[in-house]
Amino acid sequence: MINFMDLPREIRDRIYKLLLTVDAEIITHPTWFEEPTDFEAEGVTRPAVALLSVNKQIIVLYGNNTWRIPVDHDIRDLESYQGHEHLFRHITVHLDRRDTDVEDTRDRIEENYTQWASSTMEERMKLVHNDRLNSLRELVYCRALTIAANMRLIRSLVLVLDGLYCPSECCRLDLIKDLYEDFLCVFIPNPQTGLGPERCPQSLKEVRVAGLKSQAEKDLVYGEWGVKGAAVEQGTA
């Protein structure tokens, strides 16, 4: 019987590719509203991670798949990315209002109770709104951006915005505008000055945005920023 390692290199590479490539995003850290889905039920094959024994397979696993960068996670979880950043080629970042931490907002309100107690209902709503908005920006900036910017060899980045709202769902367009300064300035040239992003990985060939809703959003992102669109991908855990 022929040994796997006796097969021509080209054939072995094709087998690795078949075994280690999935046709959906890989979510290493599902957030609370993304329960891991049943692979068999979805008809999606899980990559054969058990075969990962040599570098070649690891490179195929990372490089051939699309990985969803976790947003709503303790920075501890993200240590698993350390030392592997150079292996990623295709990543997605999903920004979703459900990732903002309601309990954090409540804690901050309790800390500032005097201010809260003396506020009108309208002022209270504004406090909650702004607090959760800041929390969303913090997630975007501190976590996803830090990880993505360290992936020096990525070729494609898809930003998925269909779940992006401020907590009151009132200022989505403003949030998308802020995204440039908080996130995209690292990856695409400044639409005003045309100057290239300073920290953008040289390898990055494609930045796309998925999940835009209104014409105004499309005019901003596709028109002003010059970013291409993408279909919203349904990921798998």
Binding site for Zn ion (CB under 5 A): 166, 168, 170-171
Closest contact distance (angstroms) between CB of 124 and Zn ion is: 15
Provide the terminal-to-terminal Cα distance of the chain, rounded to the nearest Å: 37
User: Which is nearer to Zn ion, 22 or 166 (by Cβ)?
Assistant: 166
User: Which is nearer to Zn ion, 70 or 167 (by Cβ)?
Assistant: 167
DSSP string, 148-210: HHH-TT--EEEEE-TT---TTSS-HHHHHHHHHHHTGGGTS--TTT-PPPSS--TT--EEEEE
Closest contact distance (angstroms) between CB of 73 and Zn ion is: 24
Closest contact distance (angstroms) between CB of 130 and Zn ion is: 9
User: Which is nearer to Zn ion, 100 or 236 (by Cβ)?
Assistant: 100
Closest contact distance (angstroms) between CB of 49 and Zn ion is: 41
Residue 91 phi/psi, 5° resolution? Answer: -130, 155
Q: At what angle do helices 9-20 and 55-64 cross, to 10 degrees?
A: 50
User: Residue 176 and residue 183: Cα distance in Å, rounded?
Assistant: 10
User: Which is nearer to Zn ion, 30 or 163 (by Cβ)?
Assistant: 163
- Residue 228 forms beta bridges with which residues? 208
Closest contact distance (angstroms) between CB of 106 and Zn ion is: 18
Tokens of 113: 């109770």
User: Which is nearer to Zn ion, 52 or 171 (by Cβ)?
Assistant: 171
Closest contact distance (angstroms) between CB of 172 and Zn ion is: 8
Which distant-in-sequence residues (6+ apart) come within 8 Å of 195 by Cβ? 189
Residue at shortest CB range from Zn ion: 166
User: Which is nearer to Zn ion, 126 or 205 (by Cβ)?
Assistant: 126
Any long-range contacts for 119-128 (C-beta under 8 Å, 24+ apart)? 125/168, 128/167
